[in-house]
Copies of this chain bind each other. A is one copy, B any other.
Amino acid sequence: MTVVALSGGVGGAKLVSGLADILPPGELVVVANTGDDFEHLGLHIAPDIDSVFYALAGWNDTERGWGRAGETWQCMSALGQIGGETWFNLGDQDLALHLERTRRLRAGESLSAVTAALCHAAGIATRIIPMSETPVPTVVHTKDQGDLAFQHYFVRERCEPVVTGFTHRGAAQAEMPRALAEVRDVEAVIVCPSNPFISIAPILAVPGMRDWLKGLGAPVVAVSPLIGGQAVKGPTAKMFAELGLDVTNAGLVAHYGGLLDGLVIDHADGQNVHDLSVATAVTATLMQTAEDRHRVADIALSLVEAIKEHVGS
C-alpha cells in the first residue's frame, strides 16, 4: 500500500511526519511544492522540500517552528559584515543542504534525484518527490506593489501586501517527475493542511498532476488548514479574504474544484459539516505534539477507508 501526500512547508510537514510515523516504512510518498523555490546567494533553496526533509529526519526545530534544531547563524552574521544580502535568513546547518543540493544540480542531477540522494543519506524512508523537475515559481500579484517573487512577498514583505492572485510561472512547460510514474498501489491521497493557494495550487498547476491524482483511483482527502475561519499559521485566511473567497471549509472545497473526496475539519468548524459536498471527519486538527500528528494522520486515513467502504457498498 502506498499513501501519496501533497505538501507545502511547515504545516504540511507536520501531517507528513504523522503519516510517516503511523505507516510502515517506505509506504509514504510526498509530492512537495516547489513553487516557493528560489535562487538566493547562488544557491537553490527549496523551503518546502526542506521543511518536509527536516521533519522526516527528526532534525526540525519544533519550538521555533521552522528550520533545524540547534541552528546557528554565524554565516549570515558574517555576510552582513561584508555587505551581503541577509533578508533571507539561512542557518549554518541549513546552508549545508542548499550547498549540496546546488552542487548536485549543477553537476546535472535532477531535483528528484538530488532529493532522493539527500533522503537516502539522512536515512529517510519516505520518498520526497518535488512536484516538478523544472522551476515553477509562484508570482504573487498584489494590489499596491505589483508582482512580487514569492519570497519577496513572503519573507521580505511579511505577507503584508494585499493579494489579487497568483501565477505559477513555468507551469505550462513543467513536467511531472518520472519518479511519480513509478508510484504504484496508491490507496490514499492526502492533501496536507498547507496553504491552498501557494502550497497546493502550484502542485496542481503542473500539467497532468490532477489527472494523475484522479487516475490513481484512490480517495483524495484533505486536512483543512482552517480552524474556526482562521489559519493556524501564515497568510491562508488573509488570502481567502483578499481573493474574495469565503474563509470556510466550503470555500476550501470549492477552491480545490472537485479534487477532494473528503475533508478532515476541526471541532471548531464541526457545525458547518452539512454545507460540505464531501465526506468529512472531525477532530482537533491543531498539531502541536507527536500524538496530535498521529491522531490527525490516523483520522485522515480512516476517512479514506470510510469513503472506500461507502463507494464499495
Contacts and interface: CB of A to CB of B under 8 A. Distances in A.
A83 interface: yes
B68 A99 contact: no
Interface in A159-203: none
Contact of A83 (B41, B71, B78, B121): B121
Contact of A92 (B42, B72, B103): B72
A241 interface: no
B82 A100 contact: yes
B68 A78 contact: yes
B102 A42 contact: yes
A251 interface: no
Interface string A113-135: 00001101110000000000000
A92 B83 CA distance: 16
B81 A121 contact: yes
B99 A79 contact: yes
Given A42-B102, A103-B41, A121-B83, A96 B68 contact: no
Copies of this protein chain in the complex = 2
A68 to B, nearest CB: 7
Interface string A35-66: 00000011100000000000000000000000
Contacts of A103: 41-42, 84
A42 B39 CA distance: 14
B93 A77 contact: yes
A286 interface: no
A274 interface: no
11 contacts: A74-B92, A77-B93, A78-B92, A78-B94, A81-B121, A81-B122, A82-B96, A83-B118, A83-B120, A84-B100, A95-B95
Task: In the A-B complex, list the 8 residue pairs whose CB atoms are closest, starting with the nearest.
Answer: A83-B121, A78-B96, A74-B92, A78-B93, A79-B96, A92-B92, A84-B100, A82-B121
